[in-house]
Structure 1
Amino acid sequence: KLDADIAKAMMSIGAVKAVEIGAGILAPEMTGFENNDPLTPKGFASNHSGGILAGISNGDEIVARVHVKPIPSILKPQETLTDKGLPTIVSTKGRHDICAIPRINMVCESMLALVLTDHILRQKTIGENFGPIF
C-alpha cells in the first residue's frame, strides 16, 4: 500500500512523531458524504484521500503532513538520572539547532521521492508498461 509505505518512510525520520495522509485527523470529524472524493469530468472534486485510494495513487496530488517533535537540546537545565539511577541536572551548552523545519522539509521530500520511485519500479517489474519512467 502506497500510503502505508509513505507513512513508514516518514516515521523512520528521527524527529517525526506523526504522519497524516489527505484529510488525516480531520477525516473522523467528517461524515462519509463530506469525506468522499466525488469523481467529476474534470477529476476529483476534492482531495480528502490525499491522492491515494485503497493504497493506490489515484493521480491526484499526494498530500502528506508530517508532525515533528521539538528540538530536545535546550539551554535550560533539566532534571534527569545518572547511569546509576541518581537524580542530576543536565545542561546543554553551545550552539544547537533551534528548529528542524529548514532541514526536515528536504528530508521528507527526499523520502517521498524514494517511496514513489520504488512503487514505479515495482510496477515496471510486474510487467505494467506505462511508458518511460522519466
Structure 2
Amino acid sequence: MFRLNLKIALRNLWKNKGFSLINIGGLAIGLACCLMLMLYVNYEWSYDKQYKNVDNIYFTRLNLKFNGKIATTLAVPIKLAGAVMQEIPGVQNTARIVDFNNVKLFSRDQNKFKLKSSYVDPSFVKVPKL
C-alpha cells in the first residue's frame, strides 16, 4: 500500500514539475524562516536567565549635566558601594567592576599584545546567589 502511494506521489510530482518546484521551494523557505525565528526567540528569552533573582540585581549609572544636556556614564564614585550598603536598607551586597581595555602587555616589532580585563570585588561572586 505504501509503495503504491509513493509511486503515485512521485508520478504526480514528475508530471507537474513547475508546481512541485514552487510548492517544495515555498515549504523549504517557510520552514527555514520558522526555524530562524524560533532560534531568535529562544535567544531573546534566554538572555540574563543565568541568575535566579535577576529582578534584585541593579547596576548604577551616573548622570552628568554638560551644557544643559544630560550624559549618562557607568563611571561612578569608588565609595558608592560602601555608602549604598550603609544608607539604603534592603541592600544585601554590593560589588564594583572595573574594566581595563587595551592594556599594553608587551610589543615586539609590529606585534603588539594587549589585554582586555575586568577587575571585581570579592563580593561579586555572591551577587547572583542572593
Normalising by structure 2, report the TM-score.
Answer: 0.23
More strand by share: 2
Normalising by structure 1, report the TM-score.
Answer: 0.23
Structure with the bigger RCO (C-alpha within 8 Å, sep 6+) is 1
More helix by share: 2
